[in-house]
Amino acid sequence: MAVQAGNRGIDIGVCTFRRPELADTLRSLAAMEMPRGFDISVIVADNDDTPSAQALVMALSQELKLPLRYRHCPARNISIARNACLDASEAEFLAFIDDDETATARWLAELVATAEESGAAAVLGPVRALYRPDAPDWMRRGDFHSTLPVRVGGEIRTGYTCNVLLRMGSDSLRDRRFSLARGQTGGEDTEFFDQMHKAGGRIAFAPEAWVDEAVPRARAAFDWLSRRRFRVGQTHGRLLGQNTGGLGLVKQLGLASAKALYCFAAALPVLVSPVRRNRSVLRGIMHVGVVSGLVGIRELRLYGQPSPGEGGKRAA
């Protein structure tokens, strides 16, 4: 893809750890509709101990009409890889997509259109879960793995890195980096966007900027969902606890405990409905995680270690 004089730049960061699906991700980026007036480049940040993705990236750089840059940034801490993308990018915008996702044809064009219209520091897109035929029926019907932003009072206050476009010149993003302390527990993106928002950065949503994510067998389980929800709650509790103390902390603990009890109780009348029952129980588990985070219990480690059935791939 030739660089056009006067064009603006967009880098796409892809953090990877032993995932052969990376090839499908990169091919989907090369095949998508490119936003007019922009030069597009991809940064692949390999978080493995050894440069295991380098050969694949180098081979695809010859195949695809899309500039690919490889960065080896060990070891097993996702924040190191995310920060490597931030450090390597010199473009006006930096997008992130996960190494097990594929971009739809208008993914980047929709993110850019919303960024231009809104002027926001960050634009989120939706992630659509694609379930295997052997995934539990309740899970497919309830769509427990797709990702959408959460609004509080009509406002998006935090975000995620599996589908986002960042305006790198924004004051709220200047010198901002992902927390290395959260690089193996997860929640580093929640904290990143929470702090960006508190610094005045606005977050917008592009509802048509879809990426697709296949749900592997190891994640199509209630146990995986419960651990994920618990850790999400822990992160939220830690962020709440950073700005709360004394009676305020007691109030937050009481509120989270009450919400957990309410969710578990709400599951009882709908025991015969797996979708509604499991949704209530998982929400209760998330609020238990909030309690855990508020009292400072160590967060679950979700990155940098193999999960059952994934052959060494990261667990989240």
pLDDT tens track for 250-278: 999 999 999 999 999 999 999 999 999 99
Write down the pLDDT at residue 309: 40
The separation between CA 305 and the C-alpha centre of its own chain, rounded to angstroms, equals: 18
What is the per-residue burial (b if ≥16 Cβ within 10 Å, else e) of 8-43? ebbbbbbbbbbbebbbbbbbbbbebebbeebbbbbb
265 CB neighbour count, 10 Å cutoff: 11
* Residue 125: HSE in the Cβ half-sphere, 13 Å Cα cutoff: 31
Q: Which residues contact 128 (CB under 8 A, 6 or more apart)?
A: 146, 210, 211, 212, 213
Beta carbons of 31 and 40 less than 8 angstroms apart: no
> CA 192 to CA 204: how far, in whole Å?
15
CA angle 181–186–187, rounded 5-degree value: 90
Sign of the dihedral through C-alpha 291, 296, 297, 301: positive
CATH fold of 8-215 reads Spore Coat Polysaccharide Biosynthesis Protein SpsA; Chain A (3.90.550)
> CA 203 to CA 167: how far, in whole Å?
10
Write down the pLDDT at residue 125: 98
Bridge partners (DSSP) of residue 221 are none
* Residue among 278, 256, 253 at smallest CA distance from 266: 278
Write down the pLDDT at residue 315: 33
Q: In the chain, what are the domain boundaries?
A: 8-215, 222-294
* The residue type at 250: V
Write down the pLDDT at residue 316: 34
Write down the pLDDT at residue 50: 95
Write down the pLDDT at residue 304: 53
With tokens 């730049």, the residue in question is: 9
Taking the CA atoms of the chain, what radius of gyration do you get in angstroms?
Answer: 20
The structure tokens listed for 94 are 């930096």
Write down the pLDDT at residue 83: 97
CA 123 vs CA 11, 95, 129, 203, 204: distances in Å:
14, 9, 20, 6, 5
* The residue type at 13: G
Quote the pTM value: 0.89
Write down the pLDDT at residue 308: 39
What is the per-residue burial (b if ≥16 Cβ within 10 Å, else e) of 109-138? bbbbbbbeebebbbbbbbbbbebeeebeeb
With tokens 């006006």, the residue in question is: 92
The pLDDT tens digits along the chain (316 residues) read 555 667 899 999 999 999 999 999 999 999 999 999 999 999 999 999 999 999 999 999 999 989 999 999 997 899 999 999 999 999 999 999 999 999 999 999 999 999 999 999 999 999 999 999 999 999 999 999 999 999 989 999 999 999 999 999 999 999 999 999 888 777 899 999 999 999 999 999 999 999 999 999 999 999 999 999 999 999 889 888 887 778 888 999 999 999 999 999 999 999 999 999 999 999 999 999 999 999 888 776 655 554 434 433 343 3
Beta carbons of 211 and 160 less than 8 angstroms apart: no
